């Protein structure tokens, strides 16, 4: 395959690194939920990327507004959707603030079944706006997995990964790849990840889970892909930041909210 190229710079900010319930988890009094270490505060997963003059979100999670304020995100051109579980799409309504300020619709790219799901769950966004407006202006674009695409000038390869039995999307942009909510990676996707320098992938907890890789599985995947640096996301409250990182091999670590890097 051809390696997608994005030009010289790609900046990534991991806006949220927690599992669906976030950490602290409501009602829980475990050590991690009560921890005062800011690295143990994990909002729902969402990533922000700047490349080729475009501002891209991967997913649009529940905590988007708080994350966008904290990270000074002044506009969004496009959203790449991995899948439509609530923790990955429940921030969609907050995109309307960008629509209002910048007077442009936001393009959302995802698998056609994900887009159908968005139309059903956010139906009010796709009806004529009521007097006074106030609904997000989203333009939905279906994309095919495992094809090299150029979206608004950015070379993107959507990758098939499995979340339990559900096929969802990971994304490769240049030498960066983002694979969240993954429990199994098909061989073709491993092939398409050759040459990735920085990998972000999910690691829920130490115990196995039917729809998410656990730490030992994620380490194995990270070693096989062989990126210079792998960051884990989508962690639950079982994992203390420092204690877990002390057990991980070099080049592999738990990420934290607000972590940013250039690729």
Residues that bind Zn ion (CB under 5 A): 20, 25, 28, 30, 33, 85, 87, 181, 237
CB 135 within 8 A of CB 125: yes
Q: Which CB atom, from 16 or from 174, has the smaller least distance to Zn ion?
A: 16
Main-chain dihedrals φ then ψ at residue 121, nearest 5 degrees: -80, -25
User: C-beta of 237: minimal distance to Zn ion in Å?
Assistant: 3
The residue among 203, 196, 182 whose CA lies nearest residue 253 is 203
Residues 21 and 18: their CA atoms lie apart, in Å, by 8
| E-assigned strand segments in 3-135 | 10-16, 46-51, 54-58, 78-80, 106-110
Q: Which CB atom, from 51 or from 90, has the smaller least distance to Zn ion?
A: 90
CA distances from 150 to 184, 219, 232 (A): 26, 31, 27
CB 177 within 8 A of CB 200: yes
Q: Which CB atom, from 94 or from 181, has the smaller least distance to Zn ion?
A: 181
User: C-beta of 67: minimal distance to Zn ion in Å?
Assistant: 15
The residue among 83, 44, 42 whose CA lies nearest residue 65 is 44
The residue among 16, 15, 26, 94 whose CA lies nearest residue 50 is 15
Q: Which CB atom, from 33 or from 214, has the smaller least distance to Zn ion?
A: 33
Q: Is residue 139 exposed (0-12), middle (13-18) or buried (19+ Cβ within 10 Å)?
A: exposed
DSSP H helices, 26-77, are 31-34, 64-70
Q: Which CB atom, from 181 or from 240, has the smaller least distance to Zn ion?
A: 181
User: C-beta of 180: minimal distance to Zn ion in Å?
Assistant: 6
Which residues pair with residue 14 across a beta bridge?
47, 259
Q: Which CB atom, from 86 or from 105, has the smaller least distance to Zn ion?
A: 86
User: C-beta of 202: minimal distance to Zn ion in Å?
Assistant: 8
User: C-beta of 105: minimal distance to Zn ion in Å?
Assistant: 26
User: C-beta of 132: minimal distance to Zn ion in Å?
Assistant: 33
User: C-beta of 201: minimal distance to Zn ion in Å?
Assistant: 12
């Amino acid at each position: 395959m051809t390696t997608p190229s994005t030009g010289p710079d790609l900046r990534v900010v991991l806006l949220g690194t927690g599992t669906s319930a976030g950490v602290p988890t409501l009602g829980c009094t475990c050590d991690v939920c009560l921890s005062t270490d800011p690295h143990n505060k994990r909002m729902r997963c969402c990533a922000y990327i700047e490349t080729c003059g475009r501002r891209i979100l991967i997913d649009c999670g529940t905590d988007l507004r708080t994350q966008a304020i904290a990270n000074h995100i002044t506009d969004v051109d496009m959203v790449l959707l991995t899948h439509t579980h609530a923790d990955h799409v429940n921030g969609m309504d907050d995109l309307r603030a960008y629509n209002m300020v910048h007077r442009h619709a936001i393009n959302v790219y995802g698998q056609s079944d994900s887009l159908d799901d968005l139309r059903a769950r956010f139906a009010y966004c796709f009806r004529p706006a009521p007097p006074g407006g106030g609904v997000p202006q989203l333009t939905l674009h279906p994309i095919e997995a495992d094809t090299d695409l150029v979206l608004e000038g950015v070379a993107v390869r959507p990758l098939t990964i499995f979340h339990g039995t559900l096929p969802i999307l990971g994304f490769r942009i240049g030498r960066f790849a983002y694979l969240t909510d993954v429990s199994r990676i098909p061989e073709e996707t491993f092939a398409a990840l050759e040459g990735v320098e920085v990998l972000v992938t999910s690691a829920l907890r130490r115990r196995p889970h039917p729809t998410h890789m656990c730490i030992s599985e994620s380490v194995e995947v990270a070693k096989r892909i062989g990126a210079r640096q792998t960051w884990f996301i989508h962690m639950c409250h079982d994992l203390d930041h420092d204690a877990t990182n002390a057990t991980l091999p070099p080049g592999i670590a738990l990420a934290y909210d607000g972590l940013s890097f250039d690729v």
